[in-house]
Amino acid sequence: MTVVERREIALVDLLDRLLAGGVVISGDLTLRIADVDLVRIDLNALISSVNEQVPSPWGELE
Amino acid sequence: MSGLRYVYAVCRPFGTPLSAQLTGVAGVPPKQLTHHGLVAVVGHVPEEDFAERPLRAHLEDLDWLSATARAHQNVIDALTVVTSPLPLRLATVFLDDSGVRTMMEQREDAFLRTLDRLDGRVEWGVKVYAESPEASENTESPEASETTESSENPDSRPAPSPAKPVSGRDYLRQRRGQHRAHEEKWERAEEFSRRLHETLSGYAEETRIHAPQNAALSHAPGRNVLNAAYLVPRSESEAFVELVDRTKDDSPGLRVELTGPWAAYSFSGEDS
C-alpha cells in the first residue's frame, strides 16, 4: 500500500469541507443565498454542470 | 463603503497581522473586523458577483466555484498559521459591516465555546481507496512501477490473468471466480477501513465521516471506501501522521491518502 501526501489540494477535498463543513449562518443579516443549504450543491450537481445529461438540482429554485 | 461583505472565519484576536500580499475571494485582501472579543475576517466583494442571483448562477459554474473555493481556502490557510480559526461555510455574504457585527454579537457565546474547543487543534483528512482490479492486474500500469513497497512482497500480488477461455463453461467458471475475488476485495477494504478508523479515532478528539468521493470528480483511481476527518491537537499531529504512514504495510491493493493540516472545517458545528 502507498500513502500519498499531495501538495496541491484536490478540489473534491476542498468541497467536502467548504460545502459540507464550516459554520452555517443564515437569517435576516445575510443574503438569502445562505438560506439555501449549500450541501445541495453536491458532487452530482457539479458533475451535472460538467456533464449536461444530468439535470441541475437548482432548476426548481429559480 | 460599497460592496458586500464575504466572511471567511471568526477567530479570537490574533497578534500577527495578515500578510499584505494575501488575497481572497474576488482577488480582494481580507480585513479584520473586531467586535468585543472576536475578530471576523472579511472581504469586500462586488454585488455584481455576490448578490443573491449572480451568486446562485456562479455556484453552478464549476470553474467559478473552484476558483472561489481555492481563494477561500487561501485565506483560511493563512489564518491557520497564526491562530485556530472557526471557518464559515463557503459564500457567507452580508450586506454590510453592521450586519457582520450584529451576527457576531448574537452568536458570541457559541463562537467562544467553539473556538475554545478548536483552540490548538487541526483537522486531518484520511481516505482509503480500493484500487480497481483492472489496474492491479495490469502490471504495466504506471502505479505499479511507482509502488516499490509491493515488490518486497511478491506473494501478495494478484494471480496472473487466467488464460483465454476455451469453452463457455470455462468462461463462466472464470467469471464466477472473478466475481468472488471482487467481493472478497471489497470486504477486505471495508474491514481495513473500519480498523484504521478505529485506530485513528483513538488519537483524535473528534471524528467525522464524509460521504465517499465520486471518482468522476476526484479523478482518483480506485473506489473511495473511507473518507474521514479527524480533529487532532497540533502537538500530536506528527504522531498522527506517522500512524497513518505506518498503515502502508498493512494491506495490498489499498491506498491511503492523507490531507491536511486543515482548519477545523468538519468540526465547526455547535451541536457537538
ipTM over 0.90: no
A-to-B residue pairs, Cβ atoms closer than 8 angstroms: 172
Interval B158-162 mean pLDDT: 55
CA distance B227 to chain A (A): 9
User: How much is the pLDDT for B10?
Assistant: 97
Contact B250 A1 (CB under 8 A): yes
Residue with the larger pLDDT of the pair B129 and B150: B129
Task: Report how far residue B251's alpha carbon sits from residue A2's, in angstroms, rounded to the nearest whole number.
Answer: 10
For residue range B165-217, what is the model confidence (pLDDT) as tens digits?
A: 678 888 888 888 888 888 888 888 999 999 999 999 999 999 999 988 877 77
Q: Among B80, B92, B208, B244, which would you mutate to test the A interface (most chain A Cβ atoms within 10 Å of its Cβ)?
A: B92
Residue with the larger pLDDT of the pair A52 and B180: B180
Q: Quick check: pTM over 0.80?
A: no
Average per-residue pLDDT in chain A? 59
For residue range B238-262, what is the model confidence (pLDDT) as tens digits?
A: 999 999 999 866 678 899 999 999 9
In this complex, is the C-beta atom of A29 within 8 Å of any C-beta atom belonging to chain B? yes
User: How much is the pLDDT for A40?
Assistant: 43
Handedness of CA B43, B48, B49, B50 (dihedral sign): positive
CB A10 within 8 A of CB B255: no
Cell numbers placing B219: 479523478
For residue range B56-79, what is the model confidence (pLDDT) as tens digits?
A: 888 878 889 889 999 999 999 999
Q: In what order do the strands lie in the sheet with B254-262?
A: A2-5, B254-262, B121-130, B223-233, B206-209
Report the residue from B69, B211, B227 with minimal CB separation from A14: B69
CB under 8 Å to A45, separation ≥6 — which residues? A56, A57, A58, B60
Residue B164 pLDDT class (50, 70, 90 cuts): low
Residue with the larger pLDDT of the pair B154 and B238: B238
Which residues are B232's β-sheet partners?
A: B122
CA distance A60 to chain B (A): 12
Residue B163 pLDDT class (50, 70, 90 cuts): low
CB under 8 Å to B146, separation ≥6 — which residues? A2
Contact A1 B247 (CB under 8 A): yes
Task: Report how far residue B262's alpha carbon sits from residue B272's, in angstroms, rounded to the nearest whole number.
Answer: 19
| Rg, Å, chain B Cα set | 24
User: How much is the pLDDT for B247?
Assistant: 85
Compare all CA atoms of chain A with the CA of B111 and give the residue at the minimum distance: A23
Which residues are A3's β-sheet partners?
A: B256
Report the residue from A20, A29, A46 with minimal CB separation from B62: A46
Interval B1-29 mean pLDDT: 90
Is the pLDDT at A38 greater than 50? The verdict is no
Interval B215-234 mean pLDDT: 89
Residues of chain A found within 8 Å of residue B102, distances taken between Cβ atoms: 29
CA distance B73 to chain A (A): 8
Is the pLDDT at B154 greater than 70? The verdict is no
Residues of chain B found within 8 Å of residue A54, distances taken between Cβ atoms: none
Task: Report how far residue B251's alpha carbon sits from residue A32's, in angstroms, rounded to the nearest whole number.
Answer: 48
Contact B149 A2 (CB under 8 A): yes
Is the pLDDT at B95 greater than 80? The verdict is yes
Is the pLDDT at A62 greater than 50? The verdict is no
Residue with the larger pLDDT of the pair B143 and B227: B227
CB B23 within 8 A of CB B43: no
Interval B129-155 mean pLDDT: 50
Residues of chain B found within 8 Å of residue A23, distances taken between Cβ atoms: 10, 86-89, 92, 114, 268-270
CB B67 within 8 A of CB B14: no
How does B211-241 read in b/e, with b if 16+ C-beta sit within 10 Å? Answer: ebbeeebbebebbbbbbbbbbbeeeebeebb
Report the residue from B217, B227, B265 with minimal CB separation from A46: B217
- Cell 460545502 identifies what position? A19
